[in-house]
Amino acid sequence: MGSLDAGSLKRLMPSLVARIDELCKENNKLLDHNNSLLARIAELEGRSGKPPKTPNEHLAATVQRAERQWRGYLGQEEGPQGPPQPRTRALS
């Protein structure tokens, strides 16, 4: 790839701005879709008798689950019997 001079950069800018605009619109659509999914989750939780969660509560719960899984993976999470033991498969 050759070096870009001022003229070629000037010609490249409109296409870059257009692409950024497309990506921003796509991002907004995805955010809207995510919000509608979170609303649906809250609706279903309400029907099941659970108190509906806000989007921030969903995010916090997801982060906590991931952290627990990661600690378990690292062997740092202790259960009632102490730290998790490596799983072994019985020989048949």
**From CA 48, how far away is CA 89, in angstroms rounded?**
38
pLDDT score of 55: 66
Give the three-class secondary structure for 50.
coil
> How high is the pLDDT of residue 52?
65
Asked if residue 64 is part of any domain, the answer here is yes
Residue 92, domain member (yes or no): no
Residue 27 lies in a domain: yes
| Unique residue bearing structure tokens 């019997």 | 81
Please name the residue ranges forming H helices in the chain.
6-47, 55-74
Residue 49 is assigned to a structural domain of this protein: yes
In a domain, 28, yes or no: yes
Q: How many structural domains does the chain have?
A: 1
- 25: tokens are 């619109």
48 assigned to some structural domain: yes
What amino acid is encoded at 31 in this protein?
L
Higher pLDDT, 45 or 18: 18
CB-CB contact of 84 with 77 (8 Å): yes
| Residue 65 domain boundaries | 10-74
Residue 87 lies in a domain: no
Residue 85 included in any domain = no
More confident residue, 71 or 78: 71
Q: Is the pTM of this model over 0.85?
A: no
- In contact, 52 and 42? CB cutoff 8 Å: yes
